[in-house]
Amino acid sequence: MISPKKNLSLLIIVLMIVFSGCGKPTIDTSSDESFKASMEKVKASLPEDKHNAFEEAVQIVVFSDLDISDFWQAAEVDTGAAERKMKAALEGRTGEEIIALAAQLKAEEEEYIKEQSAKLLTQAKQLEKEGDLKRALNKYREAHNLDPDNQELQSIVLETEKTLRDNEEAEKKLREKLRKVLYEAERRANDDSLDEALAKYKEALSIDENSQKAIDGIEKTTERIKDFKFRQKYIQFLKLYDFKINEGRKTTYGNIKPSLEFKIKNEGEQTLEKVKVIVYFRDKDGNTIFEEDYYPVLVSDYPLSANNKPLKAGYITESSYYIKGIPSEWEFGNAEAVIADLRFATN
């Protein structure tokens, strides 16, 4: 059994422990004067080696309770409200309590930064995996802004920025290459070099599988090649005959010019609204030195000659033309006429 005397001694010890801090000065914010004075007293009550820690702790505690965004969003800064928040954060605290609270707040902030950084890094890596490097870079930057002293995060940001620049430069070169290939494809298509055009459109599609111009170009050119082959096959039903070269005929201007004439019979079942004939002129050695295109059948909304009528199945057309611009090296009479193309009449 504990004696009353021992009980009294134990109570005194407990009370000393409980109230050991009661005599220490605390922050008094009842007035500006008392606030300044109490700050000095609280600081002075601490060992000298803790003075700097106290001043840093005050800043941590004060700023942890202030929302800086309020200063930027408000039309007029409410300095009174900010001061009240600051004083409320320090009211009644001893120096040791402020230092301990600052340490707790700092630890909580570090944990928050750690969690948020990990979350942002996870999002960034997922975006990078999906190929969205721009958004991934923004996430890396957000993480680095949270922890600006993190060298590893800074290296990741710099590396990602470089990769993005390199990718953008490579994409720029690829777009330029695609543009040139598509230009060549269209030029060849316009020149009726359809096989070459198709090859270029396929090359463009290999550069960018989503290029709509390349996809449309392949579709249209393939259809044109199919149509061209069908037209070329029909040429066998056209008979070109009675091809002649005449020595010369007098023009309306009094000049004597050589001329040519030929007939074409449509022995097929289709009506034609265009027939193209190429005449090749050769020199005495049999070398082709000149060629000219003629259109004995050419139906148009703007007729320029009598050949504006379609060539129906079984019909014959007869044509004659002056030979213009022929080189002097041409051996008179040495020429060949070939049906090169045609167009079927539309219903």
pLDDT score of 197: 97
pLDDT score of 306: 62
Give the Cβ contact number of residue 272 at 10 Å: 25
Helix (H, G, I), strand (E, B) or coil at 293: strand
Give the Cβ contact number of residue 255 at 10 Å: 10
Q: For 148-160, how does the pLDDT look when each residue is reduced to its tens digit (9 = 90+)?
A: 989 999 999 999 9
Residue 1's pLDDT band (cuts 50, 70, 90): very low
pLDDT score of 336: 97
pLDDT score of 264: 97
* Residue whose C-alpha is closest to residue 152's, from 163, 140, 161: 140
Instruction: Report whether pLDDT(323) > 80.
Output: yes
The chain-wide mean pLDDT, for the chain, equals 86
Higher-confidence residue of 173 and 80: namely 173
Helix (H, G, I), strand (E, B) or coil at 245: strand
pLDDT score of 35: 87
Do residues 50 and 95 touch, judged by C-beta distance below 8 A?
yes
Supply 1's token pair.
């059994």
Q: Which amino acid is at 89?
A: A
Helix, strand, coil fractions of the chain, as percent rounded to 5: 55, 20, 25
Helix (H, G, I), strand (E, B) or coil at 328: coil
Instruction: Report whether pLDDT(184) > 50.
Output: yes
Angle, CA of 303, 307 and 311, to the nearest 5°: 120
Residue 346's pLDDT band (cuts 50, 70, 90): confident
* Residue whose C-alpha is closest to residue 196's, from 280, 275, 204: 204
Supply 305's token pair.
């000659």
197 CB-side CA count, 13 A: 22
Supply 223's token pair.
């259809």
Cα distances from 52 to residues 87, 260, 262, in angstroms, run 20, 110, 111
**Is pTM, for the whole model, over 0.95?**
no
pLDDT score of 6: 45
Supply 298's token pair.
């050419």
Supply 268's token pair.
């097929």
Enter the DSSP assignment of 311: B
pLDDT score of 241: 97
Gap between the Cα atoms of 282 and 288, Å rounded: 4
- pLDDT more than 70, % of the chain: 86
Gap between the Cα atoms of 149 and 151, Å rounded: 6
pLDDT score of 310: 94
- pLDDT more than 90, % of the chain: 61
Q: Where are the beta strands (DSSP E) in 218-286?
A: 238-250, 256-266, 272-282
pLDDT score of 305: 62
Q: For 2-49, how does the pLDDT look when each residue is reduced to its tens digit (9 = 90+)?
A: 444 444 544 444 344 344 445 689 989 888 898 889 889 998 999 999
Give mean pLDDT, residues 90-111.
89
pLDDT score of 247: 87
pLDDT score of 14: 37
Enter the DSSP assignment of 23: T
